[in-house]
Structure 1
Amino acid sequence: MTVTIDPDASFLDSALADLATYTDDSFDGWTREVLSDPYRASREVVANRMRQAGMEVHIDAGGNVVGRLPGRAAASGVNLKPLMTGSHTDTVRNGGRFDGIVGVLGAIEAVEALRRAGIELERDLVVVDFLGEEPNEFGISCMGSRSMAGVLTPEHLELPGTSGITLGKALERYGVDPNRALKNSWGPDSVHAYIELHIEQGPMLERAGTQIGVVTAIAGIDRLLARFTGRADHAGATPMDARQDALTCAAAAVLAVEREGCGAPVHGVATTGRIEAFPGSFNVVPQEARIYAELRSTDAAWLNGAKRRVADEIAAEAERRGVAQMVEWLTDQDPVPTTPALRDHIAAASGDLGLSWMAVPSGAGHDAAHMVHMGPMGMIFIPSVGGRSHCPEEFTDTRDIVEGVRVLAATLVRLDRTDKIAA
């Protein structure tokens, strides 16, 4: 069942370099945040590359760029569920030029490579550049995949942003009708399989000297906002034992979050990404403080326990210091296992191509986590140099991208020849 395909390394290099020019140059690295002008312009480039690869292209009601390569069955009037692949092209602020982007441009090159090899699929192949995978000012990630999967909600659209408008209003200004986005669902069991190619964003593959990662599960993410209210006092005249210092209470909470991550089972992590204090003067004991943190793991039981322990530690420390506290949790997603049968196909395709592979979890969130609502789901990882991601130093060698595209294309061919995929 070996499929001989030859992805074009020069195309991948030039496409990555081209897309990297669409960035907000007021920030270091590459910044192409969702709904921004650079993002809008870059997606037109993606749509044109899909057209050049022979796909029919449209923007769906959820703002996703959708390319479709018709299969032979459709030409014969036979209705088969399509195969789907893709990722995203938005970035975090001060980010890199590979995260998500490799999955979109790699999918387009997989289409080209299959065509060059004279391989026609029976099923339609759908390639998607999903709208806004990265978290944004509204506190929601994976907007386009949520819409397509039918898990975007009216409550999401009412989320306020830092600019003073809601997500729904921001989508409307961007040209996406929020009401239509809520009705964009393909429905359950609507795709034969969804496969996403992605950089690992961690060090496991590079450390092991392994070429391909077969993803076992996508981590669940629980995000925390903790607010602390103490009392403002003169920093020079107030004794240490008479203070109600909101910031020291917040600092203790940061350490509580870190302890949970350090004590987690394998693939569990905890991070505080932001801390604020008010009034923010050298000579005033802080009256208010906030921390923004998150817990991630593929183990739902650990996540639930960690949430409880962190909240209990925060409450106990605040009581000891005489500081009021309020904890809010936002579950971004539950842990999502990939489909075992798709893992087997990815592993077999890698082996057929003579590539080394290993099973790995994903600590990052992905659009694939929502595609599981539409059918079997799997992910292919390729190495990240130094395990770096979400920073300007993010890098994946072109040779690794080429091998990832080869595995993606070979897996799509295997799946096209499989009548039914076991859940």
Structure 2
Amino acid sequence: MHDAATAAGLDAWLENAVGELSGFSDSDRPGWTREVFSEPYRASRAWTAGQMRKAGLEVHQDAAGNLVGRLPGTNPAAPALVTGSHTDTVDGGGRFDGVVGVLGALGAVQLLAERGMKLQRDLLVVDFLGEESNPFGLSCLGSRALAGELTAADLERTDYRGRSLAAAYETFGIDPAALLSAAPWTGERRPHAYVELHIEQGPVLEERGLPLGIVTAITGIERLVASFTGSPDHAGTRPMADRRDAMVAAAEAVLAVRQEGCGAPQHGVSTVTRLENASPAPNVVPSLVRLHGEVRSVDETWLAGTRSRLAAEIAGRAAAHGVEADLSWSTDNTVVRAADSVQDLAAQAADAAGIPWAPIPSGATHDAVHMARLAPMGMIFVPSAGGRSHCPEEFTSTSQITTGVHVLADTLVRLDTAHLAPATS
């Protein structure tokens, strides 16, 4: 196991750092709210940059808006190791999602310094810009840009106020024109490997009594918008049997989406996140209702069939109520497998420290999805109390984070000298 004195010092630092970073929050919103492009987020990143410098890192903000701290290696010409996560939150979120990966990476840097260990490769600690979902409908902004996946069409996306994503970048001090040509880690500058420490955001590790998970794959996400068109009628006079009620058809679709997730052969979940009635009048039978939902799984075969299965089921149920259903789909990301080599080295690090672990899929998406296009990718999970996440009750104990930091540090050491196959995407 890791040295008790070192662990105690790391515990104290992490406890204090999580507390300080949590102080940057929108006081008008519930929980800990630090959304991308907000003023609390801007202030928190100045604090994070200061913590990077205190850890001995050379700090800059890249063209994509990512905060990057560099720990020079003995051979700076060698492809760098990369670790980190994000510090933005969802509205009403918690204190640990993403934060554990950024502060944990700084904790790993401290452990390397205390042990007098010098990596041959540069180590880059990254606080990626805007990983969480946002009003523009595009997550993982910073890592997406690094991977060259941010497009001109993406910059034209608008929020509910009609403001474009490009305008949001400009207000935050980031040149949107530079984003499309910035992908600084492509070509010969691709990293050697990427590994991310994160809370599980689910109940598996806690239920199994395990302190660590090594991620096998990150879920694919299919997003759905369904429009239901019926007939507007007076809600007080149109007989029940003679209605074309779009809301009833949408309600049937909610159950169909749930049924799809419940029928998955292994890992699979499905969620309706929003229903919108085009008419606000309380005495009109709904004639146009839109449904927003998603389906997630690490099972590519099952996920590939979800569009056709749900299309048939939703259309059939809607037709029974005399309602037309029109479905449109988008792929947020495909299933991404963690590199076997990174999984193996993380497992070796855990085994060497005597820390029990289990292979585990990730049902949430992460910056690791986009970094996998650039380098062999892996993730290390620590438990989430009650499996709660994206809510104020989100909690992971400091000792659990410390365990993850020790395994992260040892994994980085092992990756530093490992011969890895390059990313294939």
TM range (shorter): over 0.9
Give distance in 1, aligned partners of 2:264 and 2:144.
29
Give distance in 2, aligned partners of 1:174 and 1:226.
34
The SS at the match of 1:8 is helix
CA-CA distance at 1:188 after TM superposition: 4.9
Q: Which moved more, 1:298-307 or 1:357-366?
A: 298-307
The SS at the match of 1:183 is helix
Match of 1:48 among 43, 50, 60: 50
Identity %: 53
Q: Which moved more, 1:348-357 or 1:324-333?
A: 324-333
- Aligned residue for 2:166? 168
Contact between 2:220 and 2:298, CA under 8 Å: does it hold in 1? yes
The SS at the match of 1:57 is strand
Q: 1:71 to 1:103 in 2, by over 3 A?
A: same
- Aligned residue for 2:115? 117
In the superposition, the TM-score normalised over structure 1's length comes to 0.96
Contact between 1:147 and 1:183, CA under 8 Å: does it hold in 2? no
- Aligned residue for 2:104? 106
**What are structure 1's unaligned runs of at least 5 residues?**
none
CA-CA distance at 1:421 after TM superposition: 4.6
Match of 1:86 among 66, 81, 84: 84
The SS at the match of 2:178 is helix
Q: Number of residue pairs matched?
A: 418
Q: Output one character per residue of 1:37-72: Cα deviation in whole Å (capped at 9) or x when no partner.
A: 111110111111001111111110101001110001
- Aligned residue for 2:63? 61
Contact between 2:82 and 2:195, CA under 8 Å: does it hold in 1? yes
CA-CA distance at 1:218 after TM superposition: 0.2
- Aligned residue for 1:408? 408
**Superposition RMSD on alpha carbons, in Å?**
1.5
- Aligned residue for 1:346? 346
- Aligned residue for 1:143? 141
In the superposition, the TM-score normalised over structure 2's length comes to 0.95
Give distance in 2, aligned partners of 1:258 and 1:419.
44
CA-CA distance at 1:175 after TM superposition: 1.3
Contact between 1:262 and 1:269, CA under 8 Å: does it hold in 2? yes
- Aligned residue for 1:273? 273
- Aligned residue for 2:181? 183
Contact between 2:376 and 2:420, CA under 8 Å: does it hold in 1? no
Q: Which moved more, 1:306-315 or 1:211-220?
A: 306-315
Contact between 1:215 and 1:360, CA under 8 Å: does it hold in 2? yes
Give distance in 2, aligned partners of 1:329 and 1:184.
29
**What are structure 2's unaligned runs of at least 5 residues?**
none
Contact between 1:341 and 1:422, CA under 8 Å: does it hold in 2? no
- Aligned residue for 1:399? 399
Q: Which moved more, 1:46-55 or 1:173-182?
A: 173-182
The SS at the match of 1:73 is coil
The SS at the match of 1:378 is strand
Q: Output one character per residue of 1:287-314: Cα deviation in whole Å (capped at 9) or x when no partner.
A: 2211110000011221121111112222
Contact between 2:191 and 2:374, CA under 8 Å: does it hold in 1? yes
The SS at the match of 1:201 is coil
Q: Which moved more, 1:193-202 or 1:226-235?
A: 226-235
